[in-house]
Amino acid sequence: MGQRVVAVIGVGPRGLSVLERLVTRLRERPPDDEVTVWAFDAVGHGDGRVWRADQPPWFAANTTAGESTMCAPGAGCLPVRRLGTMAGWGGLAVGAYPSRRHYGQYLAEVFATLCACGPPNVRVRPVRAEVTRITRTPRGLRLVAGGNAYLVDKVVLATGHGATEPDEAQLALLRHADGHGLRYVPPGLATEMPLDELRPGAEVAVRGLGLTFYDVTRAVTLGRGGRFRTCREGLRYVPSGDEPRLLALSRGGVPFLARPAVPDFPVPPVRLRVVTEERLAALRETALAATGTPQLDFARRVEPLIQFEADLACSTGAAHPLAGLARPFRDRFFAGPDDYRACLARLLREDARRAEAGCVDGTVKAATEMLRAIRPLLPLVVDFGGLLPGSHRDFLSRFVPESFVLSAGPPASHVAQLAALIDAGVVRPVGPAGRVEAGADGFVVSSPQVGGSRRVAEALVDARAPARNLARDASPLVKQLLADGMISEFVNVDPVTGDRFATGGLAVTPAPYRVIDGRGRADPDIHALGVATNHTRWFTEVGTGRPGQDSPFFRDADAVAAALLEPR
């Protein structure tokens, strides 16, 4: 192979995983196979934007220390091996949830180790700058970052959670807020939101009850001097007096529920009896024979299997369809806000109690943990247009949000704390099917299922996860690549009917994930992995591999690293 220059753009967990695989593979290569890696990150190397090591301590990971590692399985991962898992490195219990900044410190040390301990034939050169442009020249790819130009042979885009430009509805809210002395905070990372500007005592609407909602809540309570205290009656919130009042709302009216405690690692695997690789492959063959396309209807063909698996996991399963667990208030009406809030606080306390007991066989938490266990299998049916276009849209807009309520939540302690914040009146959930309208006096929130729920807020924080949308990506680099036809959006097309779903995701080939240009050709020199490729693939928001286990996280990185070293 000789000499090669590679650029890794974005050194969060995904970019880091490619570097680790590259360094490890180069140890086994002849010494005259030399690689220089320009490692670009605009924020920090290793920790990057999500795990930045300087964020406040109340932002926590929702994966445990024992499960989190950058150490790939097998004998190859020598430089990083001594760091082990986050638990060993950080002196934490395996079931503890590290703060995000603590995990960021681990990731930064992984990066430093790769720079310092790589074999002599690899040089990793960090650049703290945003790459704003890539163009093709006769001598290779030319990158611009921080006012300098770099010439490289290959590029890996691991740009992660990019910012998205506001859509029409969000622009209207911004304009309304500007014109009426209000405040609208569009979707993004809570660490980057101007939450300090929310006035103590002000009523603030928060839309979305997922992980960003938990972050926002923690920032304006723990982050403003509030404390939780355990007393005889249970957990209590002791306010500092500086908190705003959060009018919280979402479609279902239920926040993400708690993840069952993980006392040890490896976690005893959830035994999958119905949703298996073989059965999913058989579904595809049946679909091809019946319809002429291997694309599947997820709701009709796959979801019943998942429900059956849940019923087997939970002995009382028949009474608990998963959709009902995620949306327990779908058909319920409440006389007033106090009734709804008391009901929700009870539900959250019960959920935290169940989660603290762990993933006990036969319980609801065993069924919801199953949803995590099937995550590595679902890409087999979803990725690269595996679903019919309409079904793909439904999967992303209905199945995924509902399954995340049940299986992507925070630790039990955070759910119990949320119940205490509701008791204390700091968090005031509005109700199911919550609505926000822009009124002259403020943002009017209400729920059609809760009598007297209408309130007027002086600020609205959008805590929903920003949807992947290449066309609205705010990054100068993505804009330029798209405008120059060097990348393209993944459009899922049914070959039989011609039905289409423009997914908003960055189009890539199967491994090693070469980007597909505007004319439909795979680029031999540019790879993309991680969140940037969401919607073409599913569930790429993974920031860690499993200790000692093969996982899509390591497999993706290894496939890209191997391709970077291919002969020209």
The CB-of-131 to ligand FAD minimum distance in angstroms stands at 4
Distance of alpha carbon 50 from alpha carbon 28, whole angstroms = 32
The CB-of-564 to ligand FAD minimum distance in angstroms stands at 17
The CB-of-166 to ligand FAD minimum distance in angstroms stands at 18
Distance of alpha carbon 348 from alpha carbon 386, whole angstroms = 36
The CB-of-438 to ligand FAD minimum distance in angstroms stands at 27
513: alpha, beta or left, given left = phi > 0 and alpha = psi -120 to 50?
Answer: left
Closer by beta carbon to ligand FAD, 314 or else 542: 542
CA 329 to chain centre: 26
Distance of alpha carbon 507 from alpha carbon 482, whole angstroms = 11
Closer by beta carbon to ligand FAD, 517 or else 541: 541
The CB-of-470 to ligand FAD minimum distance in angstroms stands at 14
Distance of alpha carbon 125 from alpha carbon 120, whole angstroms = 13
Distance of alpha carbon 339 from alpha carbon 333, whole angstroms = 10
Cβ–Cβ under 8 Å, residues 487 and 515? yes
Closer by beta carbon to ligand FAD, 6 or else 302: 6
Residue 240: how many other CB atoms lie within 10 Å: 13
DSSP letters spanning 377-446: THHHHHTTTTB-HHHHHHIIIIIHHHHHHHHS--BHHHHHHHHHHHHTTSB---BTT-EEEE-SSSEEEE
Contacts of 498 (CB under 8 A, 6+ apart): none
Closer by beta carbon to ligand FAD, 308 or else 539: 539
The CB-of-487 to ligand FAD minimum distance in angstroms stands at 13
The CB-of-69 to ligand FAD minimum distance in angstroms stands at 11
The CB-of-106 to ligand FAD minimum distance in angstroms stands at 12
Map residue 179 onto helix, strand or coil.
Answer: helix
Map residue 557 onto helix, strand or coil.
Answer: helix
Closer by beta carbon to ligand FAD, 475 or else 492: 475
The CB-of-174 to ligand FAD minimum distance in angstroms stands at 22
Task: Describe the strand order of the beta sheet including 131-137 as a list of residue ranges.
Answer: 131-137, 140-145, 148-152
Closer by beta carbon to ligand FAD, 163 or else 456: 163
Closer by beta carbon to ligand FAD, 20 or else 41: 41
Closer by beta carbon to ligand FAD, 15 or else 442: 15
The residues of the shown chain that bind ligand FAD, judged by CB under 6 A, are 9-10, 12-15, 40-43, 48-50, 61-63, 130-131, 158-161, 189, 211, 475, 477, 530-531, 541-544
Closer by beta carbon to ligand FAD, 430 or else 560: 560
Phi, psi (degrees; rounded to nearest 5) at 565: -100, 0
